[in-house]
Structure 1
Amino acid sequence: MTDNSADTEMLLQVRSIGKNFGGVRALDHVNFDLKSGEVHVLFGENGAGKSTLINILAGAIRPDEGTIELSQKPVSLESVHEARRQGIAAVFQEFSLASELTVEENIFLGSEETTGIVLNKRKMRDTASEIVNRLGFDIPPRAQVSSLSRAQQQMTEIAKAMLTNPKILILDEPTSSLTEREVNQLFELMEVLQSEEVAIIYITHRVAEIRQVGDRVTVLRDGRYIDTVDAKSTSQQELVELMTGRSIGEFFPEVSFKPSDVCLALKNLTTRNKSVIDVSLEVRSGEIVGLAGLVGCGKSEIGRACFGIEPIERGEVEFLGETLNHLDPNSNLKRGLSYVPPDRRREGLLLDRPTRENISLASLDLATMSTKAVLHRSSERVITHNLAERMRVTPLALEKDANTYSGGNQQKILLSKYIARKNKVFILDEPTIGVDVGAKAEVYEFLASLAAEGVAVLLISSELPEILNMSNRVYVIRSGTVQAHFEGQEISEENLLNAFFSESAQGNTIRSATP
């Protein structure tokens, strides 16, 4: 984003950092440096060592070997508090907010303002408001965090990090839950911080963002330093090959669509909270139907309503031609309708339980798994091992807790959880959020295989390339309603973006799909 010449002050230097977790070498003599006022992108697959490195820099964990220098002076970042005192603040992808406290209380958590032994709530409230206003975020300081959307919670994390006026700001997948307007606000904020000589370490799996915001890119692979390259002149293909060590080839697979019978139909569906209003759509076997729209448009709520999570006020949900009068997740799973939630850590996985248990959890009632509530342990191990192998969970260890895996592997475990059942309809809500390019390609191959097997797939995604390349029909959702419907050659970036932002998508009609 800025022109960082060779004589720009080197603010941070990391030399030969190493870290072991048990017998796993997470970082192997990694080098990294950061100049004042630059955005330095840290890039790599899930499990490459990015999270370990930024946790070391944020003071959350300590390295086993190597040195860290700030402004040419050796430092020992023994705690998060010490890192913040040294001018390093981090906003992690997994939030560290106290949900029962307010926004302002979270911003000052651990750094409360006091007058004597009494909390100075007025000063904290005024300061919190100043920070939020400066960032341009639409979050009320007195609101309880549990009442906020995920995007607003991410804004709260960023505001919390800015309390100490850091010299180095670490942003871990900061745009994953933000709308386009909020993303632009974040990028504008980053430019302001750069002008103030704040250096930013930026982690993203969205390759398009690298050129937009980055100055330099350091690539890690399997815990090792690979290269540091210029963000503006290095192509996407070069970055992917550096990251994976191989040529990805065609990123999106060729999908063989053979639409047949209607498996899932919504008729004038409206949710109780009005996040979905009079939505009608159809999904047929052998096709992938995309639900596209900006973050917060209501597309996720459509999937949740179909699965029985979001209460319905009126309208109908039809499954294989039958109107479902009682919607709940357990009944839907037994029917053959599965829903993969967007937040694998909060809704999808039991992180402190073994991989085996996570994969088998949604299928314990199947005859292959149990008889009269008695679990067949040997069958469970064989079935879960085969499912995990199909999804390429690596390195596969069925008795290892889910939280020990990278984000990409956790997502594969989540998908494995549902494919033991004979699904007629698969609803996937943001299935590639927070996963690297290599893992995305594997998820896309999985979606293509579902369509080829005759499964009806509803793909809910904020990733426009994902929708454009993986769908044979697309419904655009805006303010909880179906704004437009496209199929075949009509599915283009121009048409979709026009439907995202226009009051009416000119030239497109919302019509029933035809086989």
Structure 2
Amino acid sequence: MSKPTQAISVEQVRKAFGPTVALESVTYGIDAGKVHALLGENGAGKSTSVKILSGLVRPDSGVIRLFGDEVRMNSPRDAHRLGVQTAFQELTLIPDLSVAENLLLPYQPTGFAGLLNKKAAEERVAASLEKMGLHMISPRAEVRTLDLPLRQKIEIAKAALREPKVLLLDEPTSALSGEDIAWLGQIIAQQKARGTTIIFITHRMPEVRMFCDSLTILRNGCSVGTFGIEEISDEEVIEQIIGRSLEKTFPPKPPVDRSVAPVLTVRDMSAGRLRNASLSLQPGEVLGVAGLAGMGQLELFLSLFGDMPASSGTITVDGREVKIESPRDAIDAKLGITLVPEERKTEALFLRLDGRQNTALPVLDRYTRFGLIDSEAEGLAVAGALAKVQVAERALYMPASAFSGGNQQKIVMAKWLLAGGRVLLLFDPTRGVDVGTKHEIYLLINEYVRAGGSVILYSTEIEEVVHLSHRVVVFYGGSIVREIDGAVEAISESEIMRAALGSTQTHGPDSAARKAVQS
């Protein structure tokens, strides 16, 4: 029996950026027409591997073969010419251009004298969107007006519509949940049916099991091993990724004193898609928020942080009605409401500034006297906060852009730990971070509520909401339709999904995605 043809062969590849070695002697192979997972912690070398295969970065040494032929990709155009397309986690879409312009860039149809044919472009894109189950998106819509999950889908569609031989999916589900993941399953099934080889980068093991045939694990820039999907357990994968075992992924929930008055109460709040939401939050409590994308969760978080005006309703802090008209109002010591937002790179960090400046910025006045910053006091305070979230001391002087996604997220957490707020709003805080960093974030949440802080947590990973929350409110159609109190009944994924789907449906989107890939 002949050996399957390898679509991709990576042999002894090395890449360094100055003194930092991103990849060292990385070697793995992927059979043609298969879905192959590339796993590892943030900073393990996955992103560098994707950039090399996409033509964005050239390796210092080593060999890359596509379908048996040695190749050198000096630019994305070289990769495109060889049939390699990439959907990036950090979206490459241009916000001020339309959906049609983004999908066709840089291959827009032209007419007389080389001028762009806008009508032909929109017609082509409309047909393509219909084919991919995205008919609800107008080709004329500006990308900036779309929610993050829709932008993620467009990024994936942009790569898939070019009929690649090799498709790289870099964290494609980091902004997706529920039915969106089922949609991705259908796209992967379509690509497999036409013989496309897919590299799938994710931190979510259920998706590896759902979509992939094999996997390669990277650790500290080195390839640890390549395995068939049935040859290795989830526990073994985690140990290989982080080089140690995790005793328990989720720490036990700290007890909550229900006899004390709520620290935060919301009554009949409406804002954007949010309609008449009411909830309360106890000191030391984690309140989970669940629901499919676009059901009003984001508006709740933004309104509580003063980033979106509420059209109606009241907010009460410590029994006193307050008005939050800006983030400055929320951060104020009398309220102490802070937010870890959906997109850390564009909403939470100044990537060109170092970790010290990013972390101290909300409370810079603490270290300012007569208009001058006490750099020593600022540095000591930030160093303490960074140590608490286990970020290397070099973050004090290196730009945030130099760090992996997981460490960037921990810098965001350090910022609010330094600010010392009483209510921490976490909107999908583990999006795009590895299993080790996730565990560290879970422990930080636990430590925060044990110290008397309160958390409102939304996650696209329902498992996190189940295992970290004392109570859960479920959104559907812009309203809270269900509250599950862990002190009264068990918080379960099935109960959350029933409410999130607006019905008693028992077959979740995961099963739909699995069927799509297996068919």
- Map of 1:385 onto structure 2: 383
- Map of 2:85 onto structure 1: 89
Matched letter for residue 126 of structure 1: E
Measure how far apart 1:8 and its partner are.
Answer: 2.6
Change (3 A) 1:218 1:493: same
Matched letter for residue 92 of structure 2: S
Encode CA deviations 1:234-269: one digit per residue, 9 max, x unaligned: 221111011011011111111212233311100011
Measure how far apart 1:397 and its partner are.
Answer: 3.2
Query: TM-score, normalization: structure 2?
Result: 0.93
Q: CA RMSD in A?
A: 1.7
Matched letter for residue 184 of structure 1: A
- Map of 2:355 onto structure 1: 355
Give the whole-Å Cα distance in 2 for the aligned partners of 1:504 and 1:207.
27
- Map of 1:309 onto structure 2: 307
- Map of 1:182 onto structure 2: 180
Which of 215, 221, 224 is 2:222 aligned to? 224
Mapped contact 1:39–1:200 kept (Cα < 8 A): yes
Which of 43, 49, 54 is 1:58 aligned to? 54
Matched letter for residue 359 of structure 2: I
- Map of 1:75 onto structure 2: 71
Which of 424, 432, 435 is 1:434 aligned to? 432
Which of 111, 127, 131 is 2:128 aligned to? 131
Mapped contact 1:104–1:124 kept (Cα < 8 A): yes
Matched letter for residue 352 of structure 1: R
- Structure 2 spans left out of the alignment, 5+ residues: 507-519
Give the whole-Å Cα distance in 2 for the aligned partners of 1:75 and 1:145.
34
- Map of 2:512 onto structure 1: none
Matches within 5 A, 1:155-194: 155-194=153-192
Give the whole-Å Cα distance in 2 for the aligned partners of 1:236 and 1:182.
24
Give the whole-Å Cα distance in 1 for the aligned partners of 2:302 and 2:213.
40
Change (3 A) 1:80 1:505: closer
Deviates more, 1:13-22 or 1:105-114: 105-114
SS where residue 225 of structure 1 aligns? Answer: strand
Q: Once the two structures are aligned, what percentage of the paired residues are identical?
A: 33
Change (3 A) 1:6 1:122: farther
Measure how far apart 1:478 and its partner are.
Answer: 1.2
Mapped contact 2:175–2:431 kept (Cα < 8 A): no
- Map of 2:116 onto structure 1: 119
SS where residue 89 of structure 2 aligns? Answer: coil
- Map of 1:512 onto structure 2: none
Encode CA deviations 1:114-134: one digit per residue, 9 max, x unaligned: 234222333322321232122
- Map of 2:22 onto structure 1: 26
Mapped contact 2:289–2:457 kept (Cα < 8 A): yes
- Map of 2:36 onto structure 1: 40
Measure how far apart 1:385 and its partner are.
Answer: 0.7
- Map of 2:323 onto structure 1: 325
Matches within 5 A, 1:382-461: 382-394=380-392, 396-461=394-459
- Map of 1:293 onto structure 2: 291
Deviates more, 1:233-242 or 1:45-54: 233-242
Aligned residues between the structures: 498
Matches within 5 A, 1:143-292: 143-259=141-257, 260-271=260-271, 273=272, 275-292=273-290
Give the whole-Å Cα distance in 1 for the aligned partners of 2:231 and 2:68.
29
Give the whole-Å Cα distance in 2 for the aligned partners of 1:505 and 1:32.
42
Change (3 A) 1:505 1:325: farther
SS where residue 205 of structure 1 aligns? Answer: coil
- Map of 1:463 onto structure 2: 461
Encode CA deviations 1:303-328: one digit per residue, 9 max, x unaligned: 11111111111110111111113432
* Residue 341 in structure 1 maps to residue 341 in structure 2: yes
- Map of 1:106 onto structure 2: 102
Mapped contact 1:363–1:418 kept (Cα < 8 A): no
Encode CA deviations 1:189-244: one digit per residue, 9 max, x unaligned: 11111111100000011111000001001000000000111123422111101101
